[in-house]
Structure 1
Amino acid sequence: MPTVKTTYLGELRTESTHLQSGTQLLTDAPTDNMGKGEAFSPTDLLATATGTCMLTTMAIVAQRDAIELSGSSVEVSKIMSQTPPRKVARLEINLKMKTNIVLTAEQIQKLENTAHKCPVSLSLHPDLEQVVSFEWK
């Protein structure tokens, strides 16, 4: 069974529906590639997927260890290649972590390792540079 159905709406815009939940989202081509930039671009979604995957997998592991990560966030900067072919060349991922307890160095290392091994990150081409930083509060 398909996961997502996407329809091209014209003017470089698509509408995608997550079939299990019915949640919808729009994409636009970015302004630097003939688009309106009024919604996420497909490459923005790649950046978003990487950051949210890291944060979510860390939260799964934290939950198992009775650590609460609510209020944590991730900021992702997407850098496109300057030479053809057009592609995402680099993701700069900054995870700002909040916890309900003071973590040991071992707990922090376990969570950081989890982020680096998230399924989206592991699915990306090795040429796509992923620079990941963590701020623990």
Structure 2
Amino acid sequence: MTTIDTRYDGQLRCHAVHGPSGSELDTDAPTDNQGRGERFSPTDLVATALSTCILTVLGITAERQGWHLEGATARVEKTMTRSGVRRIDLLEVWIQLPADLSAEQRQQLIRAGETCPVKESLEGAVPMRLHWS
């Protein structure tokens, strides 16, 4: 179990502290929802969680196999609903793997990345598209 303590600081901003490490982060509401958009929004963190989870799982897989994954990237685009209940409408992720991987290595990494815990947790609740290259 991990504990994260969060405090509301006013003006639609929050401050969170990761219990195990003491790492801190601040959030701000986005400009399209009454905020200043000067920091990650809570839904930005969901999108960030997806892309970083994919890369982390890829890293775990690569390290187990003795492969180098440095330089792999993920770009995530978050689209919010335009009407009705405000929620994430789509998370689309473009994952770029290092060019020197074999076809077999790429397939193994793709299979691993498709099962990251964040993707598995969001599955069925938030539409997601992953693009691998």
TM-score, normalised to structure 1's length?
0.91
Equivalent residues in 2 for 1:64-83, closer than 5 Å: 64-83=64-83
User: Which residue of the partner structure matches residue 48 of structure 2?
Assistant: 48
Equivalent residues in 2 for 1:1-137, closer than 5 Å: 2-98=2-98, 102-135=100-133
Q: CA RMSD in A?
A: 1.3
Residue type at the aligned position of 2:49: A
Query: In 2, are the aligned partners of 1:5 and 1:18 still within 8 Å (CA)?
Result: yes
What is the number of equivalent residue pairs in this alignment? 133
Provide structure 2 residue ranges, at least 5 long, that are not aligned to the other structure: none
CA shift at 1:108, angstroms? Answer: 1.1
CA shift at 1:2, angstroms? Answer: 4.9
Q: Deviations over 1:115-137 (max 9, x none)?
A: 110000000141421111112xx
Residue type at the aligned position of 1:122: E
Provide structure 1 residue ranges, at least 5 long, that are not aligned to the other structure: none
TM-score, normalised to structure 2's length?
0.94
Q: Please, which moves more after superposition, 37-46 or 66-75?
A: 66-75
Q: Deviations over 1:34-78 (max 9, x none)?
A: 001010000000000000000000110111111111111111000
Distance in 2, Cα, partners of 1:96 & 1:80: 24
Residue type at the aligned position of 2:52: T
